[in-house]
Amino acid sequence: MTTEAAARRVFRSKVDSIRPTYGFEDVSLAPGTDTVEPSDVDLAVDIAGIRLAIPVLAAAMDAVVDARSAGALAALGGLAVLNLEGVQARFDDPDAVLERIATAPDGEVQDVLAEAYAAPLREDLVARRIEQIRAAGSKVAISATPAAARRWGPFCADHGADLFLVQSQVSSARHLASGYEPLELSEFTRLMPIPVAVGNTTNAEAAYALMEQGAAAVFVGVGPGAACTTREVLGIGVPQVTAISDVAAARDAYAAATGRHVPIVGDGGMRRGGEIAKAIAAGADAVMLGSPLARAEEAPGRGTNWGMAAPSPTLPRGTRIRVGTVGTMERILFGPSHVTDGTENLVGALRQSMAALGARSIREMQGVEIVHAPSVATEGKSWQQRGR
């Protein structure tokens, strides 16, 4: 009797219902029936009221964005986002601090980072950086964590910022906290005189709720960045193709219900032009790049980069990496490329990919076919692999 009962018993394991998810290495873009001339491809996109000639934002990382690099990217058609809680707002001479971080021995860099970011934020420096970025010819986008947003959002708006990004490791519309009053996003977006973007998320329901509360753009990605260790430290994250696609579905559903298109930005995990093309095809309106732009001569990181959570004195979720300096920002984005691995002329690669797929615009690129193709990077490439 016991044996018969055991034979009828059904056990349901969480592993039985694991959902397949996909990163950039797992998929490929499938050509359709049409192609177009690369010169006919329009890469322009509107992000929270800011018109960009190319769908590229520079990540709010201290090794990537300062006034100089913001001006350089703006001249090329993109937008840089300044980390309000970084060294630019803590030190009169951030270059000296950046030099110390870039040159610190590996075993000491965490202590150097923690010490640098322990200095207080200063209103005069925040105002000065906003003014410097505008003087460099760029719109001003500022990023801050939710804990700092209530204090600094109105200040940045009053001093001329064009966009405020509330950015955290994982963003949700319902943040539960004890010991302090959490940011009420719907109230914050209503009272702010400039658009408020929010990130980061990988979840469609969470993204939809953020849009309902007034987010002007939603950033997608938890842990894919080259300098981020969130996935290793906390064990959380969703591969970017799936994450972007899920949030894009929420965007489209929200637009159908309200008539308001909330752009989504794929943030992190892209080094090559093909990965940017896949991010757009998965549904992103634009991409945010960190380490690829940290390699530019104009970047303040001196050939290094580190995650935004790297300075945490208790639980760092980022590390300093050495990316090198390969050339100007224009060369990285527009070429000419001096390498064959797709890490230079990123915009040219995106344009060529769109042309080959018959997509004349970002919107049309979001409609191309994506196929599961785990062998796409290795099929027929034995000679390349032998030479590595």
228 flagged as catalytic? yes
Place of tokens 């309200």: 258
Of 216, 218, 286, which is closest to residue 250 (Cα–Cα)?
Answer: 218
The residue type found at 205 is: E
Distance CA 266, CA 106 (A): 30
331 flagged as catalytic? yes
Report yes or no: 202 and 267 within 8 Å, Cβ to Cβ. Answer: no
Of 286, 243, 342, 248, which is closest to residue 81 (Cα–Cα)?
Answer: 286
Q: Which two tokens stand for residue 38?
A: 């690369």
Distance CA 354, CA 369 (A): 12
Distance CA 237, CA 243 (A): 9
Residue 80: strand pairing partners: 58
The residue from 90, 129, 228, 351 that is catalytic is 228
The residue from 68, 231, 331, 360 that is catalytic is 331
Q: Which two tokens stand for residue 155?
A: 């200040």
Distance CA 174, CA 171 (A): 9
User: Catalytic site residues?
Assistant: 228, 331
